[in-house]
Amino acid sequence: MRPILFIDRDGVILQEPKTDFQIDHIEKTSFVPGVITNLHKIATELGFYKVMVTNQDGLGTEAYPTNQFEPFQQLMIRTLAAEDFIFDEIKIDTSYAKDNLPTRKPGTGLVQHLMNNENFDLAKSFVIGDRWSDILLAKNIGCKAIYFKSGNHTLTADQAIEYKDTIALETESWAAIYSFLKLGLRKVQHERNTKETKISISLNMDGSGQADIKTGLGFFDHMLEQIARHGSIDLAIKCDGDLHIDEHHTIEDVGIALGEAFALGLSDKRGMERYGYALPMDEAEAKVLIDFGGRNWIVWDASFTREKVGEMPTEMFFHFFKSFSDAAKANLNISCKGENEHHKIEAIFKAFAKAIKMAVHRNPASDQLPSTKGVL
C-alpha cells in the first residue's frame, strides 16, 4: 500500500499574498523557499501518492474568474514537473466557508475515494498545510499533519492543544519536511520503575527544545532543561523518587533512564554524525566530548568546593553522567574549570546538550553507518 501526501497550495507551495490571500497576478506568484528542490527529492526518492487539496474561495465566479487562476496554477504545475514532481491528483474546492460544503477543507468530500481505497496506507500518510483546516483535515482523514508555519496563519492556544496528537511535525522549512518524510522522527516513550523511583520519559531527538521536567529537585530540573533547550530536543521527565531518604536514587535513576531512552532513540544510527563536542562559556570553561558508538566510558575532570548547589549534592553530577554513559552506551569526556560552582555545573550541562545536538544530527542524503566496522 502507498502512503499519500495531501498538499495544500497557497502558503505551502506558492507564497500567499498577505494583502488579499489570492494569487491572481504574475507579480503575486512566487514559490515558497526550498519547495522546488525538496519536492523533487520527495518525488524521486520516496514513494508517496501526491494529491494537491486546496480551497479557492469563489473560483469561477465574477469575484475570482478562472482566467485569473489558471495561468498561475499551470505555471506552478509546469515548474514542478520540470523538477520531476507531478501531482497524481489535483482537488480544488471553489465554495465559500459560509456554504459549509463537505468538499471544502476540513471536509473530506474531495478525498473520500482515497480514504476508502485498500491501495493506500492512511496511517503512513500526511497532510501538509499552514492552516487549522489542514490539520483538521488530517484528523478527519485519519492520518497525521505536517504544520507548515508560513507566518500568515497561526493556531490559537486551544487549537494547539486540540491538534497536538495530530501534528507530527511543525516547521518553517521544506528541507525539514523532506528529512522528516525520509528519516522519520526519533521519538521515545520510556519508563523505568524500581522500588526507589518511578520515572517516565518522553524524548524527541528531532524536536525544538521544549522541556517539562519534574524530578522534585529544583536545581536538577533546571539542569535537565538545559539539555532540552540547548540540544534542541523535546524532553519530558517525571520522577517520583524516595527523596525522603536522600537525592541519590532520583539523580542516578534519571541518568540511567535518560541514557536508556537515548539508546532506544538511536537504535538506527545510519546517517548520524555519531560524535559531538562543545566548549563554552563565561568564566567557567567546560569541555564535553561524546561518542554514541556503542561503548560506555567516562572521563571526568571537574571538581567542586561546595557540597551542594541548591538541594543537589555536587558529588552526584559525576554519578548522573556516569549513569547516562552506561545506559546510553556512550563515551563521555567531561572537563571543567572556573570559579563559580553554579556556572561550572551549568556550563557542563549546556556543553553536554550542544555535544548531543551535534552527535545525533542526521544527513538525509546518507544511508551509511558512521563506522568502518559496518556495525554499531
Residue closest to 171 by CA, chosen among 139, 219, 206, 218: 206
SS3 186: coil
Please pick, among 8, 134, 206, 221, the residue that the annotation labels catalytic: 8
Name the pairing type of β-strands 234-241 and 4-7. unpaired
Report the Cα 239 to chain-centroid distance in Å. Answer: 24
Q: How many helices and strands (H and E) does the chain possess?
A: 10, 16
d(CA 178, CA 37): 10
DSSP 68: G
Sequence-distant contacts of 55-64: CB under 8 A, at least 24 apart: 55/92, 55/93, 55/95, 55/104, 55/105, 55/133, 56/92, 56/93, 56/94, 57/94, 57/95, 57/96, 57/97, 58/94, 58/96, 59/92, 59/94, 60/94, 61/94, 64/22, 64/24
| Half-sphere exposure (Cβ direction) of 318: Cα atoms closer than 13 Å | 12
Cell numbers for 291: 561518542
Q: What type of residue sits at position 126?
A: F
Across 308-359, the runs of DSSP E, i.e. the strands, are 308-309, 312-313, 331-337
Chain mean position to CA 172: 11
Report the Cα 317 to chain-centroid distance in Å.
Answer: 29
The yes-or-no answer on residue 8 being catalytic is: yes
10 classed as catalytic: yes
Show the CA angle centred on residue 47, arms to residues 43 and 49, nearest 5°: 80
How many angstroms separate the CA atoms of 175 and 35, rounded? 8
C-alpha cell at 163: 491538534
- Side chain identity at residue 352, one-letter code: F
Choice among 10, 134, 206, 253 that is catalytic: 10
Catalytic residues: 8, 10
